Structure 1
Amino acid sequence: MTVALVTGITGQDGSYLADRLTREGVEVHGFAREGATVAGSSLPAAVHVHQVDLRDHARVGSLVAEIAPDEVYNLGGISSVAYSWAHPAETGLVSGIGAVALFEAAHAVQEATGRRVRVVQASSAEIFGTPDRTPQDEGTAIRPTSPYGAAKAYAHQMAGIYRSRGLDVSSCVLYNHESPRRPETFVTRKITAGAARIATDGGGVLALGNLDARRDWGWAPDYVDAMVRAARHTEPDDFVVATGVAHSVEDFVRLAFSAAGIEDWSKHVEIDPRFVRPVDTAVQVGDAARARAVLGWAPTVTFEEIIEKMVENDLEQIHREVAR
């Protein structure tokens, strides 16, 4: 039986990955920080959850040695760019050095057992910061503009170094990807949940930051599929995972309110300086040609469909709460 280890298993991507792997009959172990709540509802009962702080390198190493996984998916770490500005040192320790401790532990298992351990690092488009080209691909210069991006860039580059040491580690450079399992601390879910509440209440205002920021948004289960494909491919590599289409935050707002039944969204939105980042990256749009050609991967859900699914879920949640 294949054994997989997923860090950050309670997050959006981790929960979708746990669902998929257990359906495949994989023995799944997950790392989660103490007190973490599961995105969505709950993890499959078969998942073995271990409470671990990624800064505790000794415990990470001992648990990885004990589990001896065939596949490792590093999805854990600080998930918010905004949080990283307020906590830059913590972000570096968790998302940067924590990833390297995991690579080292996986490499130790490989050396001890003599069998390949396949690792996937969940990297981020934030490593490109202000990119030197659009769209961005695996050859785009790495020059992050936030503590989050810098930590991810360190882990991304260290993945390459461990690959040169013989560890099968692929780095998937994930562009923005959403689903109903996103927490409301993310602007996308804040928008869809806000639109649903305003539509239900008949009024209200949603405070947002920069509406002009443009991002490449995809569907989270599609991006989980890309990571599984990368883990199981014959050769490890770096892969940009993106749709290749950029939309503005304003586009997201407009479609979310429309999906909730509100056509004139402008009177329900105000710009709040508190939500404007100190430095906002330029247009982020990825070129996933390598993932398409090498992994046979392609996105399956459109931008409009993602927003519709999220708003529908938020409206259903509100209706359930009212019915209680």
Structure 2
Amino acid sequence: MTKKVALVLGVTGQDGAYLAEFLLKKNYHVIGTSRDAHANNTTNLKNLGIHHDIQMESLALLDFRSVVELLRSEKPVEVYHLAGQTSVGLSFDQPIETFESVSISTLSLLEAIRLTDLPIRFYSAGSGEVFGDTLDKPANEESRFKPRSPYGIAKASAFWCVANYREAYKMHASTGILFNHESPFRPGRFVTQKIIHGACKCARTGKGRLKLGNLDIARDWGWAPEYVEAMWKMLQLDEAQDFVIATGKTVTLEKFIDIAFSQFDLNWKDWVDLDPKFSRPTDIKFGSADPRKAERLLDWKARLHVEQVIDLMTKAALEQTDCR
């Protein structure tokens, strides 16, 4: 039996690596891309033991001709767009690069799929950042967008590109509006990983200070390996739709810190300093989600919540001798 071909853009990142692992278990032939397939960091794929099972190809998403050529030569049945700049904080320093890598790249892929006229099902990685502050009403698929960062603006633009191509050209194209989802594969610049490794280092050395910004913000934190299953489930539907993917449980960053330091029997207040330079120009104070549509139509529901996520990330950090 011929294997289905799936193209995963951004395969070396957190979500891309876990998605590739999931698809391989589903007996797909997985093609992964990066700007330079020979020089790219494949650490996540190696940690999962799947780097030899993936066909790696070089691809610059803004090079429209090369995108079309790759689609025509490999003929994937599913394309997952997980590439692009992924840091909200970094987007304030690199707004143009963020918009190009998130929004323009999505438009390039959609137009390439339309031009090739192949029966491709397309997934675009959205973000709960598009909603801005949700206040006391959890965001669902009908909630209005009010992004508060260049990253959120880029994701909102990409969302509407997908929606337009789905409507105008009858493409099977969906956006997964994912709220925060973590794992040991998160880069160290992300605050969750910074907290986990900071707590680990304080416990191991008995010294040091962890400097953070605003602790009053609240987010819905889930477990990344679970979220990639929802991506795949979206593309199995007969009719393409957009979905909010989240746990439905929101906690403050202070609570996240408290749980993390409690893993080591430490009082976080003895180890954490507040530093305004780590605060963003604008930020979402409260982000909450209503993922009931995914539960109803995808038969998907988060099994792990913030406590379990922190526990798993802590165990992974402890396995690293430097606990950086």
TM bucket normalised to smaller: over 0.9
Asked if the contact 1:226–1:241 (Cα under 8 Å) also holds between the matched residues in 2, the reply is yes
How far off its partner does 1:275 sit? 1.0
Residue aligned with 1:240, SS:
strand
For 1:311 and 1:132, the matched residues in 2 are separated by: 30
How far off its partner does 1:37 sit? 2.1
Residue aligned with 2:301, SS:
coil
How far off its partner does 1:54 sit? 2.0
Of 69-78 and 199-208, deviating more is 199-208
Identify unmatched segments of 5+ residues in structure 1: none
Give the corresponding residue for 1:13.
15
Give the corresponding residue for 1:137.
140
For 1:83 and 1:39, the matched residues in 2 are separated by: 22
How far off its partner does 1:39 sit? 5.3
1:274 to 274, 277, 290: 277
Which structure 2 residues correspond to residues 131-280 of structure 1 after superposition, within 5 A? Answer: 131=134, 134-164=137-167, 165-259=169-263, 261-280=264-283
For 1:319 and 1:93, the matched residues in 2 are separated by: 36
Q: Which amino acid aligns with 2:223?
A: W
Count of residue pairs brought into register by the alignment: 316
- Deviation string for 1:120-168 (max 9, x for gaps)? 1110001112347620000111121111011100110111011111110
How far off its partner does 1:41 sit? 5.2
For 1:37 and 1:276, the matched residues in 2 are separated by: 29
How far off its partner does 1:200 sit? 1.0
- Please say if 1:74 is aligned against 2:81: yes
Give the corresponding residue for 1:123.
126
- Please say if 1:286 is aligned against 2:289: yes
For 1:315 and 1:224, the matched residues in 2 are separated by: 25
For 1:23 and 1:283, the matched residues in 2 are separated by: 36
For 1:96 and 1:143, the matched residues in 2 are separated by: 16
Asked if the contact 2:249–2:305 (Cα under 8 Å) also holds between the matched residues in 1, the reply is no
Of 60-69 and 174-183, deviating more is 60-69
1:309 to 288, 312, 315: 312
Asked if the contact 1:39–1:182 (Cα under 8 Å) also holds between the matched residues in 2, the reply is no
For 1:41 and 1:233, the matched residues in 2 are separated by: 28
In the superposition, the TM-score normalised over structure 1's length comes to 0.93
Asked if the contact 1:39–1:183 (Cα under 8 Å) also holds between the matched residues in 2, the reply is no
For 1:170 and 1:72, the matched residues in 2 are separated by: 11
Residue aligned with 1:45, SS:
helix
Residue aligned with 2:112, SS:
helix
How far off its partner does 1:7 sit? 0.7
- Please say if 1:64 is aligned against 2:71: yes
2:54 to 41, 47, 50: 47
Query: Which portions of structure 1, spanning 4 or more consecutive aligned residues, are displaced by more than 6 angstroms?
Result: none
Residue aligned with 1:236, SS:
coil
For 2:20 and 2:35, the matched residues in 1 are separated by: 16
Residue aligned with 1:77, SS:
coil
Q: Which amino acid aligns with 1:298?
A: K
Residue aligned with 2:189, SS:
coil
Residue aligned with 2:52, SS:
coil
> Could you say if the C-alpha distance between residues 80 and 238 of structure 1 is closer, same or farther in structure 2, counting changes exceeding 3 Å?
same
> Could you say if the C-alpha distance between residues 273 and 47 of structure 1 is closer, same or farther in structure 2, counting changes exceeding 3 Å?
same
Identity value in percent: 39
